[in-house]
Amino acid sequence: MDFDALFNEQLDRLKADGNYRYFAELERKCGKFPRAASHDDNGVRDVTVWCSNDYLGMGQHPKVIDAMCEAVRNSGTGAGGTRNISGTNHDHLRLEEELADLHGKEAALLFTSGYVSNWSALSCLGSRLENCVILSDSGNHASMIEGIRHSKAHKIIWKHNDVADLRSHLARLPADIPKIVAFESVYSMDGDIAPIREIVEAAEEFGAMTYIDEVHAVGMYGPRGGGVAEREGLMDRITLIEGTLGKAYGCVGGYITGSAALCDFIRSFASGFIFTTALPPAVAVAARTSIAHLKSSEMERAGQRRQVARLRAALDREGIPHMKNDSHIVPVMIGDPVKTRMLADYLMDQWGIYVQPINYPTVPKGTERLRFTPSPLHTDEDIDYLVSALSVLWRQCALAHAVA
């Protein structure tokens, strides 16, 4: 059997649709963010990264770097085992305490990534709670969708951010079965924010537990970076808060926080927690340093808000349409995978601006876009340069009518 032919057949179809993914080969340079070196067939050049999830540049923060280097010198590189068999390090527990404190919860549990935390927690809850029904927002991330699917629990998909739809589903379910309402705070592609209070009220009314993914909010929202639920004063009313250490905190890893019983339950039964090597202790130390810093420092959050507002205003001045939302995510809609890729290529090749084209299946077909994430480290000049590049391209490509 010619397996490569089978692989290539599907890859060719992906290419024909314009949905084949080309990764930019970057070389991050410590202290230079958002600048990075970009490698391609023509060699190496400096580019400005406009789509990083290292939203606040914490991945290059001197305090975080120093803490990680020192921890490697102290503890070495790897954890040396799964959490169960010799891999639990003092630094993991200190980080879990820091995370529980961040969200005002009794306990926290670390995972190797945010993806793994969603996948593991939801598949564990959905499969272990008898007759459990999971009510999942239609915009939820792949990691939640896959976790729910793997749980084999009955799943109901409610209309994105539509609390009336959620309520109508909740009302039809028997009162005495366990229900989980799973949703995100900041949705990463449209940058819209869930009506958390209304969702929590609906869940409370029908006795459902709430599961929120704050991956695109932790570090950036709330007075201590506890996320949108912290900003809205709702953390104590949410059963489980999930987050990542890989985005605004600039490291890697994921976590859940909740009651001691909830975390002990998942610790004891979730395969994705148990059967994998624990995070390196140095990563735990770096993440804790980053979290602790952002608990007390408002400078990064204020800088991000300022540059997000500045980019939006500059786009408005040039008549470049972008999706309005209340978050730090600035989507510029193109609506066609080939055009989106072409624009991204021009920006990279002619202007040294790197923004990854976002296509299906990350977003629905016909909503392909460029997604900009201004950080506190993008300067006013970076923003002016980006917007002048976009406005030149806009005129060259006569895109205005193709835009949603």
Ligand X SMILES: *Cc1c(COP(=O)(O)O)cnc(C)c1O
Which residues are identified as catalytic? 247
Binding track over 57-96 against ligand X, x by CB under 6 A: ----------------------------------------
Distance CA 16, CA 308 (A): 35
Residues found in the chain: 404
In this structure, is the dihedral angle defined by the CA atoms of residues 84, 122, 185 and 379, taken in order, positive or negative? positive
Position 205, amino acid: E
Phi, then psi, of 38 in degrees rounded to 5: -120, 125
Distance CA 321, CA 318 (A): 9
Binding track over 130-149 against ligand X, x by CB under 6 A: -----------x-x------
- According to DSSP, residue 87 is labeled I
Residue 53 Cβ vs ligand X, minimum distance, rounded to whole Å = 7
Distance CA 356, CA 236 (A): 37
243 belongs to the binding site for ligand X (CB under 6 A)? no
Q: Indicate which single residue of 124, 215, 314, 370 sits in contact with ligand X (rule: CB under 6 A).
A: 215
230 belongs to the binding site for ligand X (CB under 6 A)? no
Q: Which is nearer to ligand X, 189 or 387 (CB)?
A: 189
184 belongs to the binding site for ligand X (CB under 6 A)? yes
Cβ pair 61, 68 in contact under 8 A: no
Residue 178 Cβ vs ligand X, minimum distance, rounded to whole Å = 23
Q: Indicate which single residue of 113, 307, 340, 359 sits in contact with ligand X (rule: CB under 6 A).
A: 113
290 belongs to the binding site for ligand X (CB under 6 A)? no
What is the secondary structure of 29-81 as a DSSP string? -TT-TTEEEEEETTEEEEEEESS-S-TTSGGG-HHHHHHHHHHHHHH-SS--S
Q: Which is nearer to ligand X, 95 or 399 (CB)?
A: 95
115 belongs to the binding site for ligand X (CB under 6 A)? yes
368 belongs to the binding site for ligand X (CB under 6 A)? no
Count of Cβ atoms closer than 10 Å to residue 39 Cβ: 12
Position 155, amino acid: K
214 belongs to the binding site for ligand X (CB under 6 A)? no
Distance CA 218, CA 185 (A): 10
210 belongs to the binding site for ligand X (CB under 6 A)? no
Footprint on this chain of ligand X (rule: CB under 6 A): 113-115, 118, 141, 143, 184, 188, 213, 215-216, 244, 246, 254
